[in-house]
Structure 1
């Protein structure tokens, strides 16, 4: 839920909107109500707030002054003005302060619900956009960790063992790996095995059946078939060509 406060100097309007309007049903938590902008600003300075529903004309500090202070403090709070004055100059000032929503006090109940549902959708989209870089970084870290695990355990590695190591669901590991690398998990494991096998073939005199076992193939024929599928030549041909 998004955290909301109400700023309104008219007690009846303030009490009605803060108490009887179904904020929770449309995704908002009403934190409190204040009779002027100064009290609201003091509260916002010490508490996280996502959205403010504020009257424009109030004593001490009016709604426009409150929005201006929020702008100066670089506080990312969505402001919605509620006013009985259908006057363009107020709406124009509100727009200049980055306020997109201007509601007349005579607005019907259903219209008010519609406005705040629309605002919630915008806030949802903004929150999703701001969280994407963080999530992307976390996902890339997970994939790097998967690759490192595969490199270290290529002989016996499986999707199940990797998921267990990452403390994740197997389907999630498979999907995330493909999404971030463009390669299926099993194909990447095969690639690592084949490259390790090729290095052993070139750098040692180990028998092919031993290399087969070293990279996780208990059957030498299966190893040779997989090697040829990957490199286009058999292990023996590969060794002779180099």
Structure 2
């Protein structure tokens, strides 16, 4: 059973939501209802729901503020908005908060049941994936306790499969960082993953995003080339994939605390 908290300031609607939807049949345990965002937040101090169904227009704390507060406490909570406010700004804000669904009033118990059935199926698939991954990683730790890789062991975590995918992604960056048009989409295509997933995977395993890795390799190569006075700075800029020398100077200084010229002069 997945636990649900409902936040709705209109009592008749709140009661109807609690009574008219077959929550248990869907696989949901209703923790209770709250009349506003503050009351819902107080419940969260005592309980940890998997799901939140909230109105937007509530006194004391509106639904969007409640979602932000919930996400800060539990990033994995799934939030569904129920509102009569059919306005673009609210919908856009909801999207930015990674709200699962945006349901308009008046309430339709069948529609709510359909939406939550879909969310429960997604949660079930996600839970099974996590369980399978945990089992696989446990086996890998038992069977391969001394995995070696291109990065220091302290930077790696997770499964061998993840490690290999990240090695492949970073290897592609090392080979292609000098391309001025190199982008996240190119790295994703190279390893056969979506842009979002490969970026999350690399960040999870190494603590650094794809774009940060691209910048890192470009600047490391720039620092190497700057040690040879025969390499002109504008040529180095082009060789590592940058076309704007001012931008190159700014990024390099941020990384090394010196401009390219200062860095070169300090090593002559």
Short-chain TM bin: 0.5 to 0.7
C-alpha separation in 2, matches of 1:108 and 1:18: 13
Distance in 2 of aligned mates of 1:19 and 1:93: 29
SS in 2 for 1:91: helix
Aligned-pair CA distance for 1:131:
1.9
Q: How does 1:35-74 map to 2 (within 5 A)?
A: 35-74=35-74
Q: Offset at 1:72?
A: 2.8
Larger radius of gyration: 1
Partner in structure 2 of residue 87 of structure 1: 87
Partner of 1:24: 24
Return 5+ residue gaps in structure 1 as ranges: 145-242
Corresponding residue of 1:103: 103
Distance 2:13 2:107 in 1: 13
Q: Give the Cα–Cα distance (whole angstroms) in 1 for the partners of residues 44 and 128 of structure 2.
A: 23
Q: Distance in 1 between matches of 2:72 and 2:26?
A: 30
Q: In structure 2, what is the equivalent of residue 184 of structure 1?
A: none
For 1:54 and 1:39, the matched residues in 2 are separated by 12
**Alpha-carbon distance in structure 2 between the residues aligned to 1:140 and 1:15:** 50
Counterpart residue number, 2:243: none
- TM-score for both structures, normalised by structure 2: 0.50
Q: Name the count of aligned residue pairs.
A: 144
Matches within 5 A, 1:224-239: none
Is the Cα contact below 8 Å between 2:21 and 2:110 reproduced in 1?
A: no
* Matches of 2:75 and 2:40, distance apart in 1: 13
- Aligned counterpart, 1:166: none
Unaligned runs of 5+ in 2: 145-268
C-alpha distance in 2 between matches for 1:112 and 1:62: 21
| Displacement of 1:74 | 4.4
1:128 corresponds to: 128
The answer on whether the counterparts of 2:36 and 2:61 sit within 8 Å (CA) in structure 1 is yes
Q: Distance in 2 between matches of 1:71 and 1:142?
A: 35
